[in-house]
């Protein structure tokens, strides 16, 4: 243990959690603004464009979840545990290993989605103009996947060291660039060309390119800056990241596979249903940045305390953060469940889209508190280095959604029944993850 132990080991939990989470929550508001703006601009192009965005969205989720939440969580957890144990040299050594994993992850997304995109979106039910819109967006976004991975990996390194403010400011700054650039390139403002849905994709890639540059400078100027002796590669350092990041990536894959399968089921009800579902589910996913802000604070706080052998304190931190995440999701979910047009009118005036989106909100949104709780506990488990049972909770949700969805399709059930299966899946995910953490014994990882 270092002679100067981290204040995360002794400071009051709630004020420390607030301090670490506040920059991320502020960033989440910027990220939500970006997502709402993008969807609004694309919605101006028509229902086919909205449907095309809905087809790509599961893979965009996977890109973000694996780079920022899954492998990013593995990076933050490894850094936090090393610093909690007082081993600053190990923390610096982890930087090069994390970046190698990030570059490889980004290249994998580029190869897979550029090569298999058309077949995947067709499998999801994409046809005609909706399919072409999906491809126009996807080919640009995934050509720049390495930039997304690098930016999120560098941000995870900083967060793992307890610095949540710098990456939040960097991403907020690039969001201020992305929003007007997306509108300009999508709709052709001023002298800029009207690129349609591809314009929003170009703005996304450019923003992450800027974020990568800024984040690299921040890491280089931080205490994590590697020395020459820290650049030697070692298998055990890759394992420190991958033992959390790899299984977390499996969980992210399960989550997105669930979304992919559901998108395929909904597509059978028509383009308007797909667009309405896409607008509805987007609110569920927009809560992720808010919960992620709390959850990333949990990763570093739990990880640091686990590294120092303070397992009971780590679990107490996890439950306090989970309560906060569930409360935020409850306010959002119950508000839109009571009045769905509050959200849906932002994106479409099509009566069919509004009707289906409202149906989704009324059935699924009341269960958002369980979604938030499950997500927060998942990240707390990353900090503890114990991911198996939270991942199995995601497996249970996947099996339930697939089985229930197949039954609805086989018996020609209504869209209401399919949305009820989605709501039940969120309840199962939150409940089983809470049970897994309650039963777990957290000790030095």
- pLDDT (tens digit, 9 = 90+) per residue, 406-445? 999 999 889 999 999 999 999 999 999 999 999 888 875 5
pLDDT at residue 445 in the model: 52
Q: How far apart are CA 305 and CA 443, in angstroms?
A: 9
Q: How far apart are CA 131 and CA 128, in angstroms?
A: 5
User: Which one, of 428, 328, 268, lies nearest residue 277 by Cα?
Assistant: 268
pLDDT band at 54 (very low <50, low <70, confident <90, very high): confident
Q: How far apart are CA 147 and CA 168, in angstroms?
A: 17
pLDDT at 216 over 70: yes
pLDDT band at 73 (very low <50, low <70, confident <90, very high): confident
pLDDT at 1 over 50: no
How confident is the model over 303-309, as a mean pLDDT?
87
Predicted TM-score (pTM) of the model is: 0.77
3-state SS of the chain: helix, strand, coil percent to 5? 85, 0, 15
**Report for 186-195, 287-296, 380-389: range of highest mean pLDDT:** 186-195
Residue 300 burial (10 A CB sphere; 0-12, 13-18, 19+): buried
Residue 110 burial (10 A CB sphere; 0-12, 13-18, 19+): middle
How confident is the model over 255-264, as a mean pLDDT?
80
């Amino acid at each position: 243990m270092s002679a100067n132990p981290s204040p995360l080991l002794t400071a009051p939990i709630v004020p420390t959690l607030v301090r670490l989470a506040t920059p991320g929550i502020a960033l989440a508001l910027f990220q939500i603004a970006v997502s709402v703006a993008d969807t609004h601009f694309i919605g101006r192009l028509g229902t086919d464009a909205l449907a095309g965005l809905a087809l790509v969205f599961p893979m965009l989720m996977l890109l973000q979840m694996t780079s920022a939440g899954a492998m990013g969580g593995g990076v933050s957890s490894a850094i936090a545990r090393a610093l909690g144990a007082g081993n600053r040299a190990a923390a610096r050594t982890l930087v090069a290993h994390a970046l190698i994993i990030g570059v490889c992850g980004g290249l994998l997304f580029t190869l897979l989605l550029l090569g298999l995109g058309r077949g995947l979106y067709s499998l999801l039910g994409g046809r005609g103009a909706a399919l072409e819109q999906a491809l126009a967006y996807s080919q640009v976004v995934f050509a720049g996947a390495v930039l997304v991975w690098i930016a999120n990996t560098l941000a995870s390194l900083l967060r793992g060291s307890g610095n949540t403010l710098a990456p939040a400011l960097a991403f907020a700054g690039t969001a201020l660039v992305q929003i007007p650039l997306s509108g300009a390139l999508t709709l052709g403002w001023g002298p800029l060309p009207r690129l349609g849905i591809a314009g929003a994709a170009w703005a996304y890639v450019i923003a992450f390119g800027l974020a990568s540059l800024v984040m690299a400078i921040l890491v280089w100027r931080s205490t994590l800056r590697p020395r020459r002796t820290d650049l030697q590669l070692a298998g055990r350092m890759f394992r420190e990241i991958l033992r959390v990041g790899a299984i977390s990536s499996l969980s992210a894959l399960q989550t997105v596979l669930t979304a992919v399968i559901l998108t395929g089921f909904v597509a059978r009800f028509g383009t308007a249903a797909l667009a309405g579902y896409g607008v509805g589910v987007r609110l569920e996913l927009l809560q992720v940045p808010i919960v992620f802000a709390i959850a990333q604070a949990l990763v570093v706080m739990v990880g640091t305390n686990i590294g120092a052998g303070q397992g009971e304190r780590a679990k107490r931190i996890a439950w306090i953060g989970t309560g906060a995440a569930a409360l935020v999701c409850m306010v959002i979910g119950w508000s839109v469940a009571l009045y769905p047009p509050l959200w849906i009118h932002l994106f479409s005036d099509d009566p069919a889209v509004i009707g289906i989106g409202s149906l989704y909100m009324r059935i699924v949104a009341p269960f958002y508190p369980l979604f938030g709780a499950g997500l927060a506990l998942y990240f707390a488990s990353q900090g503890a280095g114990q991911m198996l049972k939270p991942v199995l909770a995601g497996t249970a949700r996947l099996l339930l959604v697939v089985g229930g969805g197949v039954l609805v399709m086989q018996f020609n059930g209504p869209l209401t029944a399919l949305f009820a299966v989605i709501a039940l899946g969120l309840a199962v995910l939150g409940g089983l993850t809470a049970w897994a953490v309650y039963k777990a014994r957290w000790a030095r990882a």
